[in-house]
Structure 1
């Protein structure tokens, strides 16, 4: 690969843009051609997702699409963004552990505590082993630099929350895949604007986009035999990678005065990261609040997620996913245009808008029923 880079540099061709193009192309093609084989095996061996309490589908669907996503990201990142595996030694090992746990859960349904233990192990790998940490809160609640042990604990909890939060929004066709695509695009553009030192992360973002686009082709298919879900394998992998890119994004703006890292200043960077990942964060918080309010276990499955509320309005999966993603893109736009305001005020604004989006379907449902009753 290095000889190939040398050849391109001597030819006056930017190796970065070649990696971007090839990374996207191969990521898309690997996932695209892997999924039909996975679907065929899943149907033959009856490795299917059975409709349950939280399910929004009425028939059995293959749910091992996450294997193709891992396969694609693992290969393409190793080839086109190998610097990441050099810099973050435990990154690939973490992905492999999540693959194993996800596949086991998709096939035999693991106990929640076993999944949690695996997520803790993976988080410890990446936080302590690769030193990926939330080191500074930039004045949120008056907190700036964080003590090492506190930083490690907060980051491990953040990884676990985001992995599970992303798993929770994977309830209708196109939502988890579409949202991860949008988040990867936003982080990728941000990394690109922040300079060449971050180019490997740009390539990783593009590889994720390629893999998810190919998956969405099948996930949104109207052809029953082609349809597939990403399962816990895909949702945990994407949740982990988005948490990883999120924390790396915040880390760029910390002034560590290292000679090989350019300095950038954006005090609202943690809030921008929260805005990009606002959907899984708000959806999870909302569901926990509702369950505790009703004196139920926060781990009990129900249909109080935002996508379930939109389905109650008789919207299709595609329209529900489109409306949810569009609204939370609006929140990202608000965060971007207000990025230079007070960080605490901006965080409150973003969270408030996030919860408005979570309860807006409830309001629309009540208004619709009230209108129907008055007409009758």
Structure 2
């Protein structure tokens, strides 16, 4: 049946890839868009809401099970339009199901951190050991090239876990994690497309992610109280996992696997370009860890030291904060792309420096603003005192 459809499309001059790409994005959007109202209704009826807390930037209870709709659309559309991925990576679907269960449990009853970490270790072990999704080379970063198997497995699992949790940490204001996942998926998808048809299933997966998240953002950015929803840990962990998966696959493309039928293109700065695409969650997490260590606080505690919190303190709305953060880090990606042919260590250094500059710009502005206000208040007090005298 598939061959008949394929032959018919080719006869009409239509590539099956573009059909999968368009339908995958369209149906993933429709499924998410149609599922969320039901999830919101059930969440409100059963009081399955996110309570304002230490890390929260909202002041009222909001449903936080939007990740279920994201998983639903991804599971349906990716398995239909990018089924080749599930044949090649046998444990991909199982990993998504495990993350769905852990995420929903955490969103409803709040799981202990060690239980979430254990589940993430199991998921990453399935992908790295079972599906052989690994970082095999550093491409000369710190003078290191090909990695031995043991270190490759350890570093790949660590990368998965760090990115899953880092993406969860940036999910603090409306539109940021969703908008950033769209940008990352689009950048990886375009890169995969340019690297040849062997990578087309990954292009379709990227399109499915984009369609699903757009459907979610319609409600996440809604001004209507009854429609608003968060993706919760379910959505952030699944998206973080998939972005880690696509990032590692992107780096792995440039490894010579001696496949004569697959066109090869070597980009020595591939790790630096990948870090540039995922720079926001990486820098935000490192920045928070540095601040907590400096203040002698637990690195696992909750606080408001994230980049988006600094922008909110400046009086920006959630939408404006998300927009400014995404635009700045798109600038970092543009710099990385423009200089992609320079030494990988130099490019990685530039990317990280620009990333941290973006993290500290809001803090510097906030500090300057507070000092100016304090100076103005002191000046007013001095004038009042002189008048009284």
Report whether the alignment pairs 1:51 with 2:52.
Answer: yes
Q: Which residue of structure 2 aligns with residue 2 of structure 1?
A: 2
Separation of aligned partners in 1, 2:262 and 2:151? 24
By how many angstroms is 1:6 displaced? 3.4
Q: Which residue of structure 2 aligns with residue 311 of structure 1?
A: 312
Separation of aligned partners in 2, 1:374 and 1:287? 29
Q: Which residue of structure 2 aligns with residue 105 of structure 1?
A: 106
Residue 226 of structure 2: SS of its match in structure 1?
Answer: helix
Q: Which residue of structure 2 aligns with residue 19 of structure 1?
A: 20
By how many angstroms is 1:372 displaced? 2.1
Q: Which residue of structure 2 aligns with residue 343 of structure 1?
A: 344
Aligned structure 1 segments of 4 or more residues deviating by more than 6 angstroms: none
Larger Rg: 2
Q: Which residue of structure 1 aligns with residue 230 of structure 2?
A: 229
1:44-70 CA-to-partner distances (Å, cap 9, x unmatched) read 000000000000000000000000000
By how many angstroms is 1:180 displaced? 0.2
Separation of aligned partners in 2, 1:47 and 1:366? 38
Separation of aligned partners in 2, 1:80 and 1:299? 39
Q: Please list, as runs of the form range in 1=range in 2, the aligned pairs for 1:231-250 lying within 5 A after superposition.
A: 231-250=232-251
By how many angstroms is 1:5 displaced? 2.5
Q: Please list, as runs of the form range in 1=range in 2, the aligned pairs for 1:1-376 lying within 5 A after superposition.
A: 2-3=2-3, 4-376=5-377
TM-score computed with the length of structure 1 as normaliser: 0.99
Separation of aligned partners in 2, 1:220 and 1:341? 40
By how many angstroms is 1:8 displaced? 1.7
List gaps (5 residues or longer) in structure 1: none
Separation of aligned partners in 2, 1:297 and 1:366? 24
By how many angstroms is 1:9 displaced? 2.4
1:255-285 CA-to-partner distances (Å, cap 9, x unmatched) read 1212232211100001000000000000001
Separation of aligned partners in 2, 1:261 and 1:274? 25
1:174-228 CA-to-partner distances (Å, cap 9, x unmatched) read 0000000000000000001111000000000000000000100000000000000
TM-score computed with the length of structure 2 as normaliser: 0.95
By how many angstroms is 1:77 displaced? 0.5
1:51-93 CA-to-partner distances (Å, cap 9, x unmatched) read 0000000000000000000000110011101000001000000
By how many angstroms is 1:373 displaced? 2.9
Separation of aligned partners in 1, 2:326 and 2:290? 22
Separation of aligned partners in 2, 1:107 and 1:156? 27
| Cα RMSD after superposing both structures | 0.9
Q: Which residue of structure 1 aligns with residue 387 of structure 2?
A: none
Aligned length: 376
Separation of aligned partners in 2, 1:141 and 1:281? 19
Separation of aligned partners in 2, 1:209 and 1:232? 18
1:329-372 CA-to-partner distances (Å, cap 9, x unmatched) read 00000000111111111111110111111111110001112222
